[in-house]
């Protein structure tokens, strides 16, 4: 299972980075979204995959045999933050396309030094 998830994470990173290197800024934002999903899945995998009981001590017989709830809590927080950031990035892209008149990173060189 870890191997499968490792391949999925690697694929997500590769796809995300590929999208970010395209010239279209909409694809750049999609790449960012893929990148944050890859990071979330990485936390999930690194937290340790096990078929343990849910971490509710009243029902679990043994306190050591329950699953670790922390990675899920971290991922939940990261998903919420990632969602907010993604929404902002989409609005920014919309405004950029309106102001610059193109969806092309090569046309945005005026501020480069």
Partner 1 sequence: MNLVLVLPLLIPLSTAILSLFWWKSPVGRRAIGVGGTFLLLLNGLWLFATVWRDGIQVSAIGNWPAPFGIILVADLFSAIMVVIAGLKGFAVAIYSLATIDRGRESFGYYALLNFLLLGVCGAFLTGDLFNLYVWFEVLLMASFVLLALGGERPQMEGAIKYVTLNLIASALFLAAVGLLYGVAGTLNMADLAQKLPEAHAAESVTMIAMLFLVAFGIKAGIFPLFFWLPASYHTPPVAVTAIFAALLTKVGVYALIRVFTLIFVQEVSYTHTVILVLGGITMVTGVLGAIAQNEVRRLLSFHIISQIGYMIMGLGFFTPLAIAGAIYYVIHNILAKTNLFLISGIMHVLYGTYELKKLGGLYKQTPLLAALFLISAFSLAGVPPLSGFFGKLILAQAGFDREHYAIVGVALAVGLLTMFSMTKIWLEAFWKEPPQPPSESGKARLFGPGATRYLLLSPIALVALLTLVLGVWAEAALAVSLRAAEQLMNPAEYIRAVLGKTS
Binding of partner 1 at residue 83 (CB under 8 A)? no
Q: Does 14 bind partner 1 (CB under 8 A)?
A: no
Around Cβ 89, how many Cβ atoms within 10 Å?
A: 17
CB 50 within 8 Å of CB 31: no
Neighbours of 44 (CB within 10 A): 16
Answer for the pair 28, 20: CB distance below 8 angstroms, yes or no: yes
In terms of CB distance, is 44 or 60 closer to partner 1? 44
Is the CB of 45 or the CB of 60 nearer to partner 1? 45
Q: Which of 43, 52, 60, 67 binds partner 1 (CB under 8 A)?
A: 43
What would the two tokens of residue 105 be? 């990173």
Task: Please tell me the distance from the alpha carbon of residue 46 to that of residue 88, in angstroms, as a whole number.
Answer: 29
Where on the chain is the footprint of partner 1 (CB under 8 A)? Answer: 20, 25, 28, 32, 35-36, 38-40, 42-43, 45-48, 70-71, 74, 77-78, 81, 84-85, 88-89, 92-93, 95-96, 99-100, 105, 108-113
């Amino acid at each position: 299972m870890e191997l499968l998830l490792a391949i999925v994470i690697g694929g997500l990173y590769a796809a995300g980075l590929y999208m970010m290197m395209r010239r279209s800024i909409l694809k750049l934002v999609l790449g960012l979204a893929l990148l944050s999903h890859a990071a979330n899945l990485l936390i999930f995998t690194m937290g340790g995959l096990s078929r343990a009981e849910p971490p509710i001590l009243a029902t679990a017989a043994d306190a050591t045999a329950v699953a670790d709830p922390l990675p899920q809590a971290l991922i939940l927080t990261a998903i919420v933050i990632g969602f907010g950031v993604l929404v902002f990035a989409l609005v920014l892209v919309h405004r950029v396309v309106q102001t610059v008149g193109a969806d092309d990173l090569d046309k945005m060189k005026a501020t480069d030094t």
